[in-house]
Amino acid sequence: MVEDNGSIRTLSVDIGGSGVKAMVLDITGNPLTERTRLDTPQPAKPEVVINAIAVLAAAQGEFHRVSVGFPGVVRQGVTETAVNLHPDWIGFDLETALSKCLNKPVRVINDADMQGFGAIAGKGVELVVTLGTGFGSALFIDGKLVPNMEMGHHQFRKGKTYEEQLGRAELEKIGEKRWNRRLEKAIASLQSLFNYDYLYIGGGEAVRVNMQLPLNVKLIPNITGLLGGIALWRD
């Protein structure tokens, strides 16, 4: 039992298709440690990914609770999809398994949702997309999350999804110039669908965005994926 709430330390974990990252946050969500990273073990089955988290956790020092961003649909701590990890995640109770492994309370949400919490202002319609192995998305209305919005697997153009057209594999295939042109089309399409006040673009490949962005579109650093972890304990 922690007596002084102000000293509660939250281990924030971001599971990605290519890397697993971790960092400890203070009660207000500010980083207390350096971010550490391990390559996502392949094949990325639950047991080996949990082991990677345990290794990162051991090197992060003291913490009292754990927030996890997971690259798929998550409902009540159970992972329902994991397109870029492994089918063994379907129906896996990550919250319980990780909590047993680390002996700490754990909360799990979708990775883009967690990243969104680290980015939003909390007013109006705010949309977040993440560009990495996959294409993540999160929608917030006055700071309230519409959970598990999976735009990545929704049709974008030419019979292909946003993830098929803009994921890392496609970026490597078509190069930055064409990828940026496609992204510009995606931004226009999302603007006309959501009429958002702000769109935030994050994820590991956001650094490769190279265009004049509309005034209501902002690039966010990848560390935001971890900073959002504090929001999972707000209630």
Distance CA 165, CA 178 (A): 10
Q: Is 134 in the site for ligand BGC (CB under 6 A)?
A: yes
For the bound state, the minimum distance from the C-beta of residue 94 to ligand BGC, rounded and expressed in Å, comes to 13
Q: Does 225 bind ligand BGC (CB under 6 A)?
A: no
Residue choice 112, 120, 145, 209 for contact with ligand BGC (CB under 6 A): 112
CA distances from 7 to 32, 35, 57, 58, 105 (A): 11, 19, 18, 19, 16
State yes or no: residue 110 binds ligand BGC (CB under 6 A).
Answer: yes
Beta strands in 26-124 (DSSP E): 36-39, 65-70, 74-75, 78-79, 92-93, 106-110
Using CB positions, name the residue nearest to ligand BGC: 134
- Write out the two tokens for 184: 């510009």
Q: How far is Cα 24 from Cα 200, in angstroms, rounded to an integer?
A: 24
Under the binding rule (CB under 6 A), the answer on residue 150 touching ligand BGC is yes
Please identify, using beta-carbon distances, which residue of 95 and 111 lies nearer to ligand BGC. Answer: 111
CB 198 within 8 A of CB 215: no
The reply to whether 136 sits near ligand BGC by the rule CB under 6 A is yes
Q: What is the dihedral of CA 97, 53, 118, 129, to 10 degrees?
A: -90
Q: Is 99 in the site for ligand BGC (CB under 6 A)?
A: no
Q: How far is the CB of 2 from ligand BGC (least distance, A)?
A: 31
Binder of ligand BGC out of 71, 77, 225, 229 (CB under 6 A): 71
Looking at 10, 79, 130, 222, which residue binds ligand BGC (CB under 6 A)? 130
Q: Does 67 bind ligand BGC (CB under 6 A)?
A: no
Q: What's the closest the beta carbon of residue 82 comes to ligand BGC, in angstroms?
A: 8
Tokens of 176: 């930055």
- How would DSSP label each residue in 164-230? HHHSHHHHHHHHHHHHHHHHHHHHHHHHHHH--SEEEEESGGGGG--S---TTEEE--TTHHHHGGG
Nearer to ligand BGC, 135 or 196 (CB): 135
Q: Among 48-56, 58-66, 92-100, 108-116, which window interacts with ligand BGC (CB under 6 A)?
A: 108-116
Which residues of the shown chain bind ligand BGC in the complex (CB under 6 A)?
71-73, 81, 83-84, 110-112, 130, 132, 134-136, 150, 152-153, 163
